[in-house]
């Protein structure tokens, strides 16, 4: 029976009971005449009354007159003389036997309204607790969902892009299948495994694959499901969860987002939380207390291992950490092939090409890419998904949908074209910079134009020369506007470029040791800590003299790369004008056209450029943007309507790369 049917039946029963109670307490309705007691006495003395019936309460009198008319009256108090008057007048008298109710009946009648309120309260509390067959008093019961070995169809074949992580957890499968193999040699399988990695990298999928390969029951629960408003409920749920797991051992318990309950105790951030701490304490005891839980493997996932309590990470509990990081180009290709199994593909689709153009993408991003490509193909009534759809899907995910309906004046388009051409030319001339792949002035999201740089390979670290090249490229757009229109007409479109370049220069000085005056010394505070002086670029423990040297070094780096970019554009002013003309004509140019422009050759027509009946560009067939994990993309908007650059690099490295600002219109 469905929950709706159960609720409907319950409310019908409550309504029937209430109607019965109110009907029992309500006075009986009749057609008798209600008269005053004094009038009744006058009628008795006048001999007009034929019969009377005195009710059990000894005060209510019902009767009939000699005319046949019925009446009802109430005695103010019991009147003994009334019986004598009625007898003298020859009135037929009747009495009603008093109703005798038992003690339990009286208690039920008196307490029925209270019991009804309690029942309604229990019903609503049960609904707030999610039902699921658990009563309102079952707060301490575990909310973990049990999936049997037959319900889990995921295997290691469905997990790609994390070969090292799969190798780390394969022995868990072997242990669950054949525990005696390890016990003979005195080996002890880890009690807990912590899966660590950015969002969307496949931590939950990997945990399901472990259970699917081992063919064991799989308990899944979120860390937030333990904590309630009542202190002690979470600890009770932990105990109940492990009790259920013991009955199904060997089995796997998967706790997603364990940082919701496993945060460090006594950290002082956010205040104390007795319920969360008690829940954490109970989990610590269950994982490695006096009573061992043999055959139970706890797998937890988190994006923030740095906030977990140290007791959780010690040997005997979560003593093994498996890093599920962002996939490399080979891993992205494998992930794409897994998701492409469900999609009919055209012959021109190459997973390796798509993987190379999507650096920094997680498994979830790639799954979304395949899905968006399938939607584009369905929208265009295609039977298969081609490379064109994948390129369009990639552009949409990275930058947002095209805004071809946006009205831009020719002057704004021209300024945007010069701005993007400045980025592209400097990017082609500076050393160790990623190749320019595409330049477009088609508005996307909140951006008026974007320059795409596609890395040739995934970069792990960056040299000083490459970082300085990125600073020069960032200022290419502003310099192009300044050289063409003069300093008085430079727009605010380069605000994000300036922020990006300044951040790189400051990190080079304070974190990466690229300053000759300051040397390889760390001058930057932890990014997660908040200090009063950070808004001025000064650490709390930094002297004024050191802060001034840092500012001078940052200014020197920016000035030198600014002058270099200005010289490149000044020496290649003819290329700047030619690239502007090409962008105004085609709106989007790719690497082939950029190569022609840099070689001062006639620009070839793009292969995917179509003209509509009005003679204008029929549409961009998909641009490519590098969103690599080493800050290889630069994009911007060259209009005062858009105050910041359109695309900023993706901050996924551990080298202190620039994070996207709050005002960045589009980030990836």
Q: Which residues are catalytic?
A: 420
| Rounded Cα gap, residues 95 and 149, in angstroms | 76
- Is-contact 169 194, C-beta < 8 A? no
The β-bridge relationship of strands 449-453 and 634-636 is antiparallel
Phi-psi region of 175 (alpha: psi -120 to 50; beta: other; left: phi over 0): alpha
Helix (H, G, I), strand (E, B) or coil at 93: strand
CA distances from 580 to 80, 307, 475, 503 (A): 117, 50, 17, 29
The answer for 161, left when phi > 0, alpha when psi is -120 to 50, beta otherwise, is: left
Cβ-based neighbours of 403, under 8 Å, separated by 6 or more: 442, 443, 444, 445
CA distance 512 to 280: 38
Q: Which two tokens stand for residue 611?
A: 């003209």
Distance of alpha carbon 520 from alpha carbon 449, whole angstroms: 38
Strands (E) located in 502-625: 588-590
* Spatial CB neighbours of 197, under 8 Å, sequence gap ≥ 6: 203, 303, 323, 324, 325, 326
- What CA–CA distance (Å, rounded) separates 654 from 666? 22
Is the CB of residue 32 less than 8 Å from the CB of residue 70? yes
Q: Is there a contact between 176 and 165 (Cβ–Cβ < 8 Å)?
A: no
Show the tokens assigned to 497.
């470029």
- The DSSP string of 103-116 is HHHHHHHHHHHHHH
Q: How long a stretch of residues is the chain?
A: 668
List, as one string, the DSSP characters of 123-153.
HHHHHHTT-TT--TT-TTS--PEEE-TTT--
**Longest Cα–Cα distance in the chain:** 137
C-alpha dist (Å) from residue 309 to 196, 256, 258, 268, 565: 15, 16, 11, 13, 49
Q: Are strands 436-440 and 588-590 parallel, antiparallel or unpaired?
A: antiparallel
| Burial grade of 472 (CB within 10 A; 0-12, 13-18, 19 or more) | buried
Q: For residues 620 and 648, is the Cβ–Cβ distance under 8 A? A: no
User: Using an 8 Å Cβ cutoff, are 421 and 583 in contact?
Assistant: yes
The answer to whether the CB of 614 falls within 8 A of the CB of 627 is no
| Dist CA 312 CA 292 (whole Å) | 16
- Helices 464-474 and 544-571 pack at an angle, to 10 degrees, of 70
| CB-based contact 396:372 (threshold 8 Å) | yes
C-alpha triplet 297, 194, 274: angle, nearest 5°: 90
């Amino acid at each position: 029976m469905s929950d709706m049917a159960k609720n409907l039946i319950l409310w019908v029963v409550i309504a029937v009971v209430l109607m019965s109670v109110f009907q029992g307490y309500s006075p009986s309705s009749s057609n008798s005449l209600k008269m005053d007691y004094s009038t009744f006495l006058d009628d008795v003395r006048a001999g007009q009354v034929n019969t009377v019936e005195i009710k059990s309460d000894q005060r209510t009198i019902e009767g009939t007159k000699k005319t046949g008319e019925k009446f009802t009256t109430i005695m103010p108090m019991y009147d003994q003389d009334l019986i004598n008057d009625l007898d003298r007048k020859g009135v037929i008298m009747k009495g009603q036997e008093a109703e005798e109710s038992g003690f339990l009946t009286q208690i039920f009648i008196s307490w029925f309204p209270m019991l009804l309120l309690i029942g309604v309260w229990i019903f609503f509390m049960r609904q707030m607790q999610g039902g699921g067959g658990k009563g309102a008093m079952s707060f301490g019961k575990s909310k973990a969902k049990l999936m049997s070995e037959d319900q889990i169809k995921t295997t290691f074949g469905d997990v790609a892009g994390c070969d090292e992580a799969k190798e780390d957890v394969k022995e868990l499968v072997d242990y669950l299948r054949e525990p005696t193999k390890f016990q003979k040699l005195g080996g002890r399988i880890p009690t807990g495994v912590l899966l660590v990695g950015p969002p969307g990298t496949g931590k939950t999928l990997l945990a399901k694959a472990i259970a699917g390969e081992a063919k064991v029951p799989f308990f899944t629960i979120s860390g937030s499901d333990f904590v309630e408003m009542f202190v002690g409920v979470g600890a009770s749920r932990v105990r109940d969860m492990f009790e259920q797991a013991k009955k199904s051992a060997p089995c796997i318990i998967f706790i997603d987002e364990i940082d919701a309950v496993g945060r460090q105790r006594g950290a002082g951030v956010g205040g104390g939380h007795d319920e969360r701490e008690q829940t954490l304490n109970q989990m610590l005891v269950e994982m490695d207390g006096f009573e061992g839980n043999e055959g139970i493997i706890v797998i937890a996932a988190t994006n923030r291992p740095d906030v977990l309590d140290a007791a959780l990470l010690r040997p005997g509990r979560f003593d093994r950490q498996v890093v599920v990081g962002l996939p490399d180009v080979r891993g992205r290709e494998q992930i794409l092939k897994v998701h492409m199994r469900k999609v009919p593909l055209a012959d021109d689709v190459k997973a390796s090409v798509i993987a190379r153009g999507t650096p920094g993408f997680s498994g979830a991003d790639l799954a979304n890419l395949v899905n968006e490509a399938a939607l584009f193909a369905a929208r265009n009534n295609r039977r298969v998904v081609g490379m064109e759809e994948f390129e369009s899907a990639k552009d949409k995910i990275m930058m947002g949908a095209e805004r071809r309906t946006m009205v831009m004046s020719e002057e704004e388009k021209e300024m945007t074209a010069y701005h993007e051409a400045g980025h592209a030319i400097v990017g082609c001339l500076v050393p160790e910079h990623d190749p320019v792949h595409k330049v477009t002035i088609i508005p996307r999201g909140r951006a008026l134009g974007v320059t795409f740089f596609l890395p040739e390979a995934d970069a792990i670290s960056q040299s000083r020369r490459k970082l300085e090249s990125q600073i020069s490229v960032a200022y290419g757009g502003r310099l192009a506007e300044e050289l063409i229109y003069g300093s008085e007409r430079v727009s605010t479109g380069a605000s994000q470029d300036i922020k990006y370049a300044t951040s790189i220069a400051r990190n080079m000085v304070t974190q990466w040791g690229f300053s000759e005056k300051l040397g390889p010394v760390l001058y930057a505070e932890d990014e997660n800590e908040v200090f009063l002086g950070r808004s001025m670029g000064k650490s709390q423990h930094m002297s004024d003299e050191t802060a001034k040297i840092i500012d001078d070094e940052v200014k020197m780096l920016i000035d030198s790369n600014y002058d270099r970019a200005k010289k490149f554009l000044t020496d290649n002013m003819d290329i700047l004008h030619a690239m502007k003309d090409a962008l105004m004509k085609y709106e989007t140019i790719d690497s082939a056209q950029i190569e022609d422009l840099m070689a001062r050759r006639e620009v070839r027509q793009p292969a995917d450029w179509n003209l509509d009946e009005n003679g204008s560009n029929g549409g961009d067939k998909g641009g490519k943007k590098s969103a690599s994990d080493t800050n290889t993309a630069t994009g911007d908007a060259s209009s005062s309507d858009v105050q910041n650059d359109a695309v900023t690099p993706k901050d996924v490295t551990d080298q202190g790369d620039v994070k996207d600002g709050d005002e960045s219109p589009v980030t990836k």
